[in-house]
Amino acid sequence: MSQHVSEAATALPVVSTRIYPRGALDILSRDEVARLKDASAGGMHDLLRRCALAVLTSGSASDDPRAAQELYPSFDIQVLQQDRGVRIELVNAPAMAFVDGELIRGVAELLFAVVRDLAYTAIELGPEYAADFESSAGLTDAVFGLLRNARILHPIEPNLVVCWGGHSIGREEYQYTKDVGYELGLRGHDICTGCGPGAMKGPMKGATIAHAKQRRRRTRYIGITEPGIIAAESPNPIVNHLVIMPDIEKRLEAFVRLGHGIIVFPGGVGTAEEILYLLGILLREENAQLPFPFILTGPTAAAPYFERIDQFIRLTLGEAAAARYEIIVADPEKVAKRMTAGIRKVREHRIAQKDSFYFNWGVDIPLPYQQPFVPTHEAMAALDLRHGRRPQDLAADLRRAFSGIVAGNVKEEGMRRVEQFGPFQIRGDQDIMQALDALLRAFVEQRRMKISGEYRPCYRVIA
Amino acid sequence: MSQHVSEAATALPVVSTRIYPRGALDILSRDEVARLKDASAGGMHDLLRRCALAVLTSGSASDDPRAAQELYPSFDIQVLQQDRGVRIELVNAPAMAFVDGELIRGVAELLFAVVRDLAYTAIELGPEYAADFESSAGLTDAVFGLLRNARILHPIEPNLVVCWGGHSIGREEYQYTKDVGYELGLRGHDICTGCGPGAMKGPMKGATIAHAKQRRRRTRYIGITEPGIIAAESPNPIVNHLVIMPDIEKRLEAFVRLGHGIIVFPGGVGTAEEILYLLGILLREENAQLPFPFILTGPTAAAPYFERIDQFIRLTLGEAAAARYEIIVADPEKVAKRMTAGIRKVREHRIAQKDSFYFNWGVDIPLPYQQPFVPTHEAMAALDLRHGRRPQDLAADLRRAFSGIVAGNVKEEGMRRVEQFGPFQIRGDQDIMQALDALLRAFVEQRRMKISGEYRPCYRVIA
Amino acid sequence: MSQHVSEAATALPVVSTRIYPRGALDILSRDEVARLKDASAGGMHDLLRRCALAVLTSGSASDDPRAAQELYPSFDIQVLQQDRGVRIELVNAPAMAFVDGELIRGVAELLFAVVRDLAYTAIELGPEYAADFESSAGLTDAVFGLLRNARILHPIEPNLVVCWGGHSIGREEYQYTKDVGYELGLRGHDICTGCGPGAMKGPMKGATIAHAKQRRRRTRYIGITEPGIIAAESPNPIVNHLVIMPDIEKRLEAFVRLGHGIIVFPGGVGTAEEILYLLGILLREENAQLPFPFILTGPTAAAPYFERIDQFIRLTLGEAAAARYEIIVADPEKVAKRMTAGIRKVREHRIAQKDSFYFNWGVDIPLPYQQPFVPTHEAMAALDLRHGRRPQDLAADLRRAFSGIVAGNVKEEGMRRVEQFGPFQIRGDQDIMQALDALLRAFVEQRRMKISGEYRPCYRVIA
Amino acid sequence: MSQHVSEAATALPVVSTRIYPRGALDILSRDEVARLKDASAGGMHDLLRRCALAVLTSGSASDDPRAAQELYPSFDIQVLQQDRGVRIELVNAPAMAFVDGELIRGVAELLFAVVRDLAYTAIELGPEYAADFESSAGLTDAVFGLLRNARILHPIEPNLVVCWGGHSIGREEYQYTKDVGYELGLRGHDICTGCGPGAMKGPMKGATIAHAKQRRRRTRYIGITEPGIIAAESPNPIVNHLVIMPDIEKRLEAFVRLGHGIIVFPGGVGTAEEILYLLGILLREENAQLPFPFILTGPTAAAPYFERIDQFIRLTLGEAAAARYEIIVADPEKVAKRMTAGIRKVREHRIAQKDSFYFNWGVDIPLPYQQPFVPTHEAMAALDLRHGRRPQDLAADLRRAFSGIVAGNVKEEGMRRVEQFGPFQIRGDQDIMQALDALLRAFVEQRRMKISGEYRPCYRVIA
């Protein structure tokens, strides 16, 4: 590794160097190296630059990778070809990722993961394979292929707990996620999260301490992200396996098929959407017999949050839906014990079904859950939020409604649409729509949804 | 592993059981498992059955897998699908591969290698990829892909010595190959051969003892074979990495790109062909600067054999060709020392060229060397064995001439052609043709080419 | 491991169980097991019980093992014999050391270390070996034997940094020790401390994070303690190698012979004594050529602390003494870089001297530094704190004076002596005695020496 | 490792070099190094030189280390001290143990074992410990200590098969020992023998091949020898753990306490003595409940040999004695299956008795079996070979009679005694003495006891 430290255009110290990847990138054919080089110099380049910078500033005080873009304007990354494989050139990279001029090994691994996954997406999931993505099986295969290429599919005992929750939570809630992670770690569980800060970092941090105490050497802290999110939520420094899925839907499917159980900590609207996504899947008849530990938990102060969500679910999807999860308040040890018991059942079920331990082929995820939802006025008007529908169908539309409303309130694209065409028109029963509204207002009050000015609904209910 | 021992239709004891593969086969997608199952039940099935039987009788007294086909007529193998992966059913398999009803672990590994490589060939190199095989780069990529999938490409220090030579050699020559293998093993070299008996087994056996003495734990005894040969030369029991290439040309390319040096022991016409193949490549200007240790060696009694070959090469391809190899008689230690020194140069060259250690991208192998040669009368008449041609071109045609003449003398298909259309007509200078003839007669005399009745040339020289 | 959870006599939850040791305890002869059982049932039992409890409450909120004695009054530990080896019975042990009834693995390891070292001391360093302890070489051999038996002597590259400093330091100083540990860990150093809280925990914690980032798997966080201290400073939960030396002097010798460099953070009088101990050794002519990285460091606020110590050393021991250490203020990265450079020199020196990497045989530690100092009035009167003596002799007496004054002010035994016989009489030059007094007053002001009531010197200067 | 190749005084090529030991020798105290140096320069030196030469010529054609003494007259070995540990100087050592000037790693390991064990015997079992050797427990502790120091006591699953038998057996018998070793190796057993050629080498060789096939990496081929034997039976090159016990009795005890079962192949009088030794122990009431697989086996041609021994045992020790072993003729697979089943019972028994897996504390070996027997006329006259005694007592005396008769016939010391004082007088029943005589004559006929001239009994029977 040759390197050169300079001050560049910016005041912050930077380093320029070249590195040689290991892992999935160390044995490529000449042709693959050439395609990787082309992709990284072409359309993929800006994305690669952005993701690489997020990784190189991982663990920085601000934890805001957008700031990183401004702090390191002259940063660049090039993937070059040479006979023996790939070479990566870093230009004016943040010095904080280096020790005495040498890239920190864990950061290097995450950087290789970025190149590996973007390359896989560009080369193996490119336009020529588009046809495969019109079937549910084809999309699942894409998720499988990317995860296998990332080398996180191993035939080991089920022990992977997925943790969801907000990235900007309060100190008490953060401490609670650490406590839960600690109890999980003591019991030998590995952790998988969205790989950012807050509830995505706390469980990993707690588990790290517990794993050290239990002298576990081969631990997994898996972070699954996607290009739109990594810019906002850079991987925390504990992550030792990073995967970048091509889009939100594949990321959600990866969570569900990789994890042996899911814990949800308090979070914002995104977290609520994730809960509805998972419920929509678990409520399908095809998945009725499938054991799937699903726990909502938080400290005492978070109890009202879960009560409200619980009420909303019972109102809209019924008691059967509420039977699919368990709410545990302020008891990390109980959470860990229930998860351990639940995963034991998952294990037995996989053996009985001859399903693999490392990928949940058995769970049925239908095409609509795999395809992106774009909240146009037409799409929103097509939703049908009324009692009497099958719960899994209603759950899917609720998730979409949620997604659209959030977009109309806080996302640039959505806000512009509402300004231009007026509020969305949503078809739904009165009580459901009111409950939805109340939930959103509560998020605003609890500062879980950030909004400038006063909250004004961006939709209108129609009969 | 459940199993059932029975006597079946044959007198020899057999075992029926099911096994679950590891290695490259343990993390397949549902789709890949389905395609593997289809391929193994369809066109690939007979091939699979034959190769599997060769592996299951490896190390048997007779070492003749064709006998195996008759001894185990009711043997069958099925690849089945289940959610968690692949299951292999063995029906009436030779009991000699089992201990107390359990398949010997090394045999199981070879068996998985058979399934893995045939599946790769059927699925990844199938008809839909035919277009790629019309370019040299495409064919090299196929070789690379298969070897990578077989997990024998590792970024470790260059130490792989390829050994060529006859499969039915005398006791003295066999002992000599062991002695050379021993000296190579003492110096830390791994061995790669065609994986059958004779000169393909001896070097591995010698190296095994030396590796044990040097306490080397991670040793590689790589056997590279192809479907047409595995039936005649079943893998010897020392092989711990087995690769089945789709055809002879890809097998030869695999030897040249994997090995860091090549040793040739006495052998028959096949060995002579291999020497011409390698010389043809090394004599290209593109490969002029390429270090490539190439040693012909045997015990004192084999000296005349190499003298004759040396004379033939000097006459036809010139002194420059002879400068590409070294002949060492009856000195295993010297062979090993020269090989060690040669590989040191290979290492330096790879580093200087930034070529990988595990695959020789730098050696230029042109399309004609990669495509099969079918010795029809037309093809033979198109050869041009005259002085004045570029040595590499003449070497290529000599190899083909050789191949055709052997076919006309001993291979069913070739003999039928000669019977039907008369002797091949070969265009060549008188002295070259006489030398060729003399060489062939010598092989017959030394019993290195088996012929029924008296030797009669199957070709005619034309001006 | 069979176990039984109960509430026992105390309100705190406890667990009774039996465990089977590993490590140095797993292959004992029947005779050794019998002697171990006898020792642990006899004179060693109370000590064993106390140390075991400190380990079992490691990481608890209070971090005060004396409290532990009161909180778990019915706790007991028995070492029992059975043919296959040792069995340890825990009765009413703190439930916090268990997960779902099973002892946390790291805690178990520390517990085995306690038994191992107390057993070694009782059996191998018992009264019958007393004669060996009257020579310096004999005492060094005892230190070596105990460390070897604890399996922390390994022939690996020099990378062990000893960190000294106070156990009750402020938040800012604690954070600073973490920062230094982090920078050391990034550069591949392992950490050795006195194994308690404060400056003994911070560097390990920082190093843990850095080691994770650098993907170092085989890390060492060595805690060296002794029976009188472990009761007050229970091992922090990061320690993965615990050693219990028989007394303070052997503990200090272990630090000096094991470590490849020493960093001193701010601390109380104990820390000052340690500095004088090390200086006294390094100032000997025998050690003049010995490279030994020795850095005093702390955050900006601690600068006056080190200035004062520096002044005192220059006044008493001269400039040559001050040349043996470096003071670095508020620059963790610089500390780590200097230590790295220093250890590089240590490595070269060991190679040149053919000394081992894992034990500093080369450093000369004379008998007076190895034997305990008991501060009687006679012993104090025998001190000679005057200019003109050899610095190493003066350093030894200064350390003793220090030790005695502290005893006279805060230790029960010493205070009683002063009360009974009047203040100690110390012979010394006026300026030295004044400087000593000023230093002690400063410690009191900075709350680094805890005193009830006003500070009154417990000694009188005599000509 | 610096080295220098020369021709020295002898015609055979030799190498002089210095090496630095690993293993048990790499972490010694300065004092231990000094004592080792003294011992190896003093009384131990000739022994060390002899054993080292046996190891350095291991695997040579002649396999006769006495020849080695003559072939390398100028060979010498010195153990030197330096701060970092031990250095070994080899002067004019056989070049065959080196590759390109570097000592073969396995040979180096055996050499370190020689130094290690002779040093342990000289230092830890020296005269000052003589008192301990007057009790049975003290002697067993010495055996345990030496084996632990040699690092062959590991808490792993029972799988160690001891093989006894002649060192100069015929080709057919040798092949048979290989076949048995192969079947044992296939079933995961490790092998322990006397470490010489013949029946001590064959089982290891067979097991090596089987272990390779079963992909076992951590294999143990333990050779246990003693100074008087290593000169005649140099360690075969497969041995990867060599132990040199101080005398024959400790060597026999090591076999019995280490092994989980014993197989006896055909051999000479030494082998017969070993059988009587083991029977004498197993027939004690204290060992009546002890499972101990004990199999006598050989090819068809060896059947008469075992019949004769069986008859002799039944006549002298009774049917109960014959029930302690099983004779299997010409069936290696059956031998391996019975041994596997027997070891399973040993395992259960050890668990039930809480005895260790790695050392058979449970077997009772009384003092007379642990102390050397010197066959003077007095000692021989004190034997009592009559019916009516307890079988274990008679077995002990039979073994001694055997030993004395052999000495009187073939050992220099014994022959001289007989010449001087006339034949030994042995007290015994007529039929027993005749059977003994017949057995000895049979050994002579079968060329299992080498005698110059005609066989003449060296004893007289008295009433």
d(CA D157, CA B161): 38
Coil, strand or helix: which one is A220?
A: coil
- Is residue D253 very low, low, confident or very high in pLDDT (cuts 50, 70, 90)? very high
| Chain segment D305-321, per-residue pLDDT in tens | 999 999 999 999 999 99
- Pairing relationship of beta strands A160-164 and A261-264 according to DSSP bridges: parallel
A247 CA to chain B: closest CA distance, Å?
21
Statement: residue C283 has pLDDT above 80: yes
C340 contact residues in A (CB cutoff 8 A)? 100
User: Would you say A261 and A344 are in contact if contact means Cβ atoms under 8 Å apart?
Assistant: no
Statement: residue C66 has pLDDT above 80: no
Statement: residue D176 has pLDDT above 90: yes
Q: Which of C22, C57, C99 to mutate to test the interface with A (most CBs of A within 10 A)?
A: C99
Buried b (16+ CB within 10 A) or exposed e, B162-197: bbbbbbbbbeebbebbbbbbbbbbbbbbbbbbbbbb
Of A408-412, B7-11, D214-218, where does mean pLDDT reach its minimum? Answer: B7-11
The identity of residue A315, as a single letter, is: L
Owner of token pair 């209910």: A461
Q: How many CB pairs under 8 A join A and C?
A: 52
- Is residue C9 very low, low, confident or very high in pLDDT (cuts 50, 70, 90)? very low
Of A138-142, B65-69, B77-81, B398-402, where does mean pLDDT reach its minimum? Answer: B65-69
Statement: residue B33 has pLDDT above 90: no
Q: Which CATH number applies to C140-366? A: 3.40.50.450
- Is residue A7 very low, low, confident or very high in pLDDT (cuts 50, 70, 90)? very low
User: Would you say C295 and C310 are in contact if contact means Cβ atoms under 8 Å apart?
Assistant: no
Coil, strand or helix: which one is B151?
A: coil
Of A251-265, B353-367, C243-257, C439-453, where does mean pLDDT reach its minimum? Answer: C439-453
User: Any idea which architecture B151-367 has in CATH?
Assistant: 3-Layer(aba) Sandwich (3.40)
> Which position has the higher pLDDT, B235 or B296?
B296
Report pLDDT for D436: 87
Nearest CA in chain B to A154: B27
Report pLDDT for D24: 63
Q: Which of D104, D77, D108 is nearest to D93 (CA)?
A: D77
B82 CA to chain A: closest CA distance, Å?
7
D356 CA to chain C: closest CA distance, Å?
4
Which residues on adjacent β-strands are paired with residue D396? Answer: none
Coil, strand or helix: which one is A327?
A: strand
User: How far, CA to CA in Å, does A251 sit from each of A8, A245, D320?
Assistant: 37, 5, 74
Statement: residue A345 has pLDDT above 60: yes
Statement: residue D222 has pLDDT above 90: yes
Distance of CA A156 to the CA centre of its chain: 23
| Chain segment C208-243, per-residue pLDDT in tens | 989 999 999 899 999 999 887 886 678 888 899 999
Residues A322-332, mean pLDDT to the nearest whole number: 97
- Is residue A68 very low, low, confident or very high in pLDDT (cuts 50, 70, 90)? confident
Report pLDDT for B461: 82
D215 contact residues in B (CB cutoff 8 A)? 105-106, 109, 240
User: Residue D217: which of B106, B214, B217 has the nearest Cβ?
Assistant: B217
Predicted structure pTM score: 0.88
A108 CA to chain B: closest CA distance, Å?
18
| Chain segment C317-348, per-residue pLDDT in tens | 999 999 999 999 999 999 999 999 999 999 99
Statement: residue D60 has pLDDT above 70: no
Residues D263-277, mean pLDDT to the nearest whole number: 91
- Is residue D329 very low, low, confident or very high in pLDDT (cuts 50, 70, 90)? very high
User: Would you say B111 and D217 are in contact if contact means Cβ atoms under 8 Å apart?
Assistant: no
Which residues on adjacent β-strands are paired with residue C428? Answer: C385
Cβ contact (<8 Å) for C213 and A107? yes
Q: Average pLDDT over chain A, rounded to whole? A: 88
Residues D206-221, mean pLDDT to the nearest whole number: 92
Statement: residue B2 has pLDDT above 70: no
Report pLDDT for B441: 85
- The answer, for B85 touching chain A at a CB cutoff of 8 Å, is yes
User: How far, CA to CA in Å, does C165 sit from each of B50, B241, B345, C175, C361?
Assistant: 73, 56, 55, 13, 25
d(CA A229, CA A50): 11
Nearest CA in chain B to A153: B27
CATH number for A156-365: choose from 3.40.50.450, 2.70.98.10, 3.40.50.300, 3.50.50.60: 3.40.50.450
- Is residue D27 very low, low, confident or very high in pLDDT (cuts 50, 70, 90)? confident
Report pLDDT for C7: 47
- The answer, for D366 touching chain C at a CB cutoff of 8 Å, is no
C39 CA to chain D: closest CA distance, Å?
20
Residues C298-321, mean pLDDT to the nearest whole number: 93
Statement: residue A2 has pLDDT above 60: no
Q: What DSSP state is assigned to residue C154?
A: -
Burial of C66 (0-12, 13-18, 19+ CB in 10 A): middle
Strand order in the sheet with B190-193: B241-244, B221-225, B190-193, B160-164, B261-264, B294-298, B326-329
Q: Average pLDDT over chain D, rounded to whole? A: 88
Percentage of residues in chain D having pLDDT higher than 70: 94
Percentage of residues in chain B having pLDDT higher than 90: 56
SS3 content of chain A, % helix, strand, coil (to 5): 50, 15, 30
Statement: residue C301 has pLDDT above 60: yes
DSSP output for B178-198: HHHHHHHHHTT-EEEE-SSSG
Q: Which of A213, A217, A236, A239 to mutate to test the interface with C (most CBs of C within 10 A)?
A: A213
Which residues on adjacent β-strands are paired with residue D121? Answer: none
Sign of the CA dihedral running A48, A51, A53, A58? negative
Task: Report domain extents, chain A.
Answer: 3-124, 156-365, 373-462
Q: Which of D15, D13, D41 is nearest to D1 (CA)?
A: D15
Report pLDDT for A8: 44
| Chain segment B5-20, per-residue pLDDT in tens | 554 444 688 999 988 8
| Chain segment B255-295, per-residue pLDDT in tens | 999 999 999 999 888 888 899 999 999 999 999 999 999 99
Statement: residue D63 has pLDDT above 50: no
Cβ contact (<8 Å) for D84 and C355? yes
Statement: residue C2 has pLDDT above 50: no
User: Any idea which architecture D3-124 has in CATH?
Assistant: 2-Layer Sandwich (3.30)
Report pLDDT for C463: 67
Statement: residue C3 has pLDDT above 60: no
Report pLDDT for D7: 47
Report pLDDT for C24: 63
| Chain segment A413-460, per-residue pLDDT in tens | 888 899 899 999 999 999 998 888 888 888 888 888 776 677 778 888
Q: Which of D141, D356, D358, D363 to mutate to test the interface with C (most CBs of C within 10 A)?
A: D356
Statement: residue C4 has pLDDT above 80: no
CATH class of the domain defined by D145-367: alpha beta
Report pLDDT for B442: 85
> Do C3-124 and C140-366 show the same overall fold?
no
Residues B178-188, mean pLDDT to the nearest whole number: 97
| Chain segment A235-247, per-residue pLDDT in tens | 888 899 999 999 8
Statement: residue D432 has pLDDT above 80: yes
DSSP output for B200-252: GTHHHHHHHHHHHHTT--S--EEEEE-HHHHTTSPPPTT-SEEEE-SSHHHHH
Residues A129-135, mean pLDDT to the nearest whole number: 78
Cβ contact (<8 Å) for B144 and A354? no
Report pLDDT for C134: 86
Cβ contact (<8 Å) for D213 and B107? yes
- Is residue C204 very low, low, confident or very high in pLDDT (cuts 50, 70, 90)? very high
| Chain segment A162-183, per-residue pLDDT in tens | 999 988 888 999 999 999 999 9
- The answer, for B213 touching chain D at a CB cutoff of 8 Å, is yes
d(CA A368, CA A398): 13
User: How far, CA to CA in Å, does A372 sit from each of A139, A381, C456?
Assistant: 12, 17, 78
Cβ contact (<8 Å) for B214 and D105? yes
d(CA A251, CA A196): 14
Cβ contact (<8 Å) for D237 and B107? no
User: Would you say D296 and D324 are in contact if contact means Cβ atoms under 8 Å apart?
Assistant: no
Compute, in degrees rounded to 10, the torsion defined by CA atoms B282, B288, B290, B292: 40
Distance of CA D423 to the CA centre of its chain: 30
User: Residue D362: which of C83, C85, C361 has the nearest Cβ?
Assistant: C83
| Chain segment C379-438, per-residue pLDDT in tens | 999 999 999 999 989 999 998 888 888 788 777 788 889 989 999 999 999 999 888 888
- The answer, for B352 touching chain A at a CB cutoff of 8 Å, is no
> Which position has the higher pLDDT, A81 or D295?
D295
Report pLDDT for A408: 84
Q: Which of D26, D83, D124, D153 to mutate to test the interface with C (most CBs of C within 10 A)?
A: D83
Q: Which of C308, C340, C351, C341 is nearest to C327 (CA)?
A: C308
Report pLDDT for B63: 46
B29 CA to chain A: closest CA distance, Å?
7
> Which position has the higher pLDDT, A59 or B91?
B91
Statement: residue D74 has pLDDT above 60: yes
D128 CA to chain B: closest CA distance, Å?
38
